């Protein structure tokens, strides 16, 4: 990853709404109307990826989420730490999974890539910054604790840190 340390900056929750952009990972050129992702079946239509059906023989290209999964290059990183988390790990992760299911039903690019153990907690990686933000907000709304965001605008990456 060529990300530089300087490119990361802390963000307030209110700032995120205007900052986060929709992921166009590896979509250098304009996609043709209509495009279907051969991996997950999402369909690009009228400028956005959604779930739907496409006629046979349409252009096929990986959606940004599947590209990121292939490259193992997440857009969102959510770390969950602390003694409360350790004691309620399953419950908190269940909430995160629910949040993903809810978002993914509407937005194909919003997916959890992996949930890994890290020192003193867990790391959830996501295919899109919006889902990382939403998981952080959902966990904070349910359990309070301390929530922080760091955003890298150049690379469109978001780090969310929650601790309790």
User: Which of the ranges 65-73, 84-92, 98-106, 118-126 carries the binding residues for Zn ion, by CB under 5 A?
Assistant: 65-73
Q: Any contact of residue 138 with Zn ion (CB under 5 A)?
A: no
CB of 29 to Zn ion, least distance (A): 17
Contact by Cβ (8 Å): 63, 39: yes
Q: Which of 16, 66, 78, 109 binds Zn ion (CB under 5 A)?
A: 66
Which 35-64 positions form the footprint of Zn ion (CB under 5 A)? 37, 39-40, 42, 63
Count residues contacting Zn ion (CB under 5 A)?
Answer: 6
* 3-state SS, residue 126: strand
Task: Give the C-alpha separation, 6 to 97, whole Å.
Answer: 32
Q: Residue 111 class from Cβ within 10 Å (0-12 exposed, 13-18 middle, 19+ buried)?
A: buried
Output DSSP code: residue 131.
H
CB of 67 to Zn ion, least distance (A): 8
Binding site for Zn ion (CB under 5 A): 37, 39-40, 42, 63, 66
């Amino acid at each position: 990853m060529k990300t530089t340390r300087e490119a990361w900056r802390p963000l307030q929750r209110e700032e995120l709404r205007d900052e986060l952009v929709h992921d166009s990972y590896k979509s250098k050129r304009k996609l043709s109307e209509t495009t279907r992702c051969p991996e997950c079946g999402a369909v690009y239509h009228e400028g956005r990826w959604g779930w739907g059906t496409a006629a046979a023989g349409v252009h096929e290209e990986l959606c940004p989420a599947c590209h990121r999964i292939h490259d193992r290059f997440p857009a969102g990183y959510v770390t969950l730490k602390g003694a409360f988390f350790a004691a309620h790990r399953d419950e908190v992760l269940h909430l995160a999974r629910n949040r993903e299911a809810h978002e993914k039903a509407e937005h194909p690019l919003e997916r959890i890539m992996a949930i890994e153990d890290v020192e003193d907690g867990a790391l959830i990686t996501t295919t899109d910054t919006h889902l990382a933000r939403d998981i952080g907000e959902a966990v904070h709304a349910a359990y309070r604790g301390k929530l922080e965001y760091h955003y890298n605008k150049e690379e469109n990456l978001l780090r969310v840190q929650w601790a309790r």
